[in-house]
């Protein structure tokens, strides 16, 4: 189950208008959706924010993968619903489940349509991160590189995880057998090889990077430069307006759940 959820966060290399948006503008859009969804529990607003994203998925041609990941996340949303149903009113349970789906959808939209390379470039442009990275790690682009690498390793790790699961099942391991404690223990033969593979890979990656002269000199240039297009400015404007409006409403009005 857990692996299919990851599918909804994997970058798909397509050339649609959504993929071509500037990652910075797109990230602000994500914040613009997340801020109101965390500030308010109004069901209409949450449902609206969810529906608004559907055309974006369709333009980005990732609707099918999004639905798959939603289906895989159904168990978790059911859990959230049940827990909140027993601890509060029904509308609240519905709102919180919607919020979970909305957050998942929004991040899935961002990661499915933004290439890790673009993301790295975008993070590299943020002055604060460059400053922080220099203070902590000595190089201005070390932090952005760390982030890009982490994102990029997710699909590789997913493949490894599948192979490990296959290998252990071939040795008679049955993951969904036994009581709760036994089931948790069943994952030990999966997690240990996976962890060791990850550690070994990171050491190899470090060596390969050093062999190629990482981190290089200050003022590194890149082949592709990010540039804002009119549509990016539009997105930026809408997102900023949305964020400001949300805070303003949050401070001066009370929005009911339904």
Partner 1 sequence: MGENGAGKTTLAKQLNGLLKPSLGRVTVDGDDTAKKSVAQLSRKVGIVFQNPDHLLFSETVREEVGFALKNFGFEPGVVLKQVERTLEALDLAHYADTSPFLLSGGERKRVALAAVLAWQPDYLILDEPTIGQDYQQKERLRNFILQLNSQGKAVVMVTHDVEFVAECNPKVVLMSKGQIVAQGQADEVLSDDGLIEKASLVKPQMAKLFSQLSEYGFPRDVVDVHRAKMLLEEKLTEVRVRVAQSS
Residues that bind partner 1 (CB under 8 A): 160, 163-164, 166-174, 188-189, 192-193, 196-197, 200
Pick the closer one to partner 1 by CB: 196 or 245: 196
Enter the DSSP assignment of 61: T
For partner 1, the closer of residues 43 and 164 by Cβ is 164
State the nearest-atom distance from the C-beta of 168 to partner 1, in Å.
6
Taking the chain, what is the end-to-end CA distance rounded to the nearest angstrom?
Answer: 33
Least separation, in Å, of the C-beta of 226 and partner 1?
Answer: 35
Nearer to partner 1, 64 or 171 (CB): 171
Helices 63-72/90-113 angle, 10° precision: 140
Cis peptide before 215 (omega within 30 of 0): yes
| Closest separation in Å from C-beta 7 to partner 1 | 17
Number of C-beta neighbours around residue 135 at 10 A: 9
- Looking at beta carbons only, is 83 or 207 nearer to partner 1? 207
Let me know: does 42 contact 258? Beta carbons within 8 Å: yes
CB of 10 to partner 1, least distance (A): 20
- Specify the residue, 82 or 205, whose C-beta has the smaller distance to partner 1: 205
- Quote the least distance from Cβ 209 to partner 1, whole Å: 22
DSSP string, 62-80: -HHHHHHHHHHTHHHHHHH
Cα-based distances in Å from 70 to 26, 90, 111: 21, 22, 15
């Amino acid at each position: 189950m857990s692996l299919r959820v990851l599918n909804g966060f994997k970058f798909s290399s397509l050339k649609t208008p959504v993929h071509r948006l500037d990652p910075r503008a797109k990230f602000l859009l994500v914040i613009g959706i997340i801020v109101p969804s965390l500030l308010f529990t109004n069901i209409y607003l949450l449902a609206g924010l969810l529906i608004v994203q559907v055309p974006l998925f369709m333009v980005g041609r990732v609707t099918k993968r999004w639905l798959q990941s939603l289906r895989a996340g159904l168990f978790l949303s059911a859990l959230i619903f049940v827990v909140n149903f027993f601890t509060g009113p029904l509308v609240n349970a519905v709102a919180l489940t919607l919020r979970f789906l909305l957050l998942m959808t929004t991040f899935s939209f961002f990661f499915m349509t933004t290439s890790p390379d673009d993301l790295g470039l975008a993070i590299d442009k943020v002055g604060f991160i460059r400053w922080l990275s220099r203070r902590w790690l000595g190089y201005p682009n070390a932090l952005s590189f760390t982030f890009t690498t982490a994102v990029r390793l997710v699909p590789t790790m997913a493949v490894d995880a599948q192979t490990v699961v296959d290998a252990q099942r071939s040795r008679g391991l049955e993951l969904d057998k036994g009581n709760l404690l036994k089931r948790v223990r069943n994952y030990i033969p999966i997690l240990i090889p996976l962890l060791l593979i990850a550690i070994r890979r990171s050491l190899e990656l470090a060596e390969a990077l050093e062999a190629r002269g990482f981190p290089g000199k200050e003022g590194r240039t890149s082949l592709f430069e990010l540039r804002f297009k009119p549509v990016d400015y539009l997105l930026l404007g809408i997102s900023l307006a949305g964020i400001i409006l949300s805070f303003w409403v949050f401070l001066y009005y009370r929005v009911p759940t339904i």
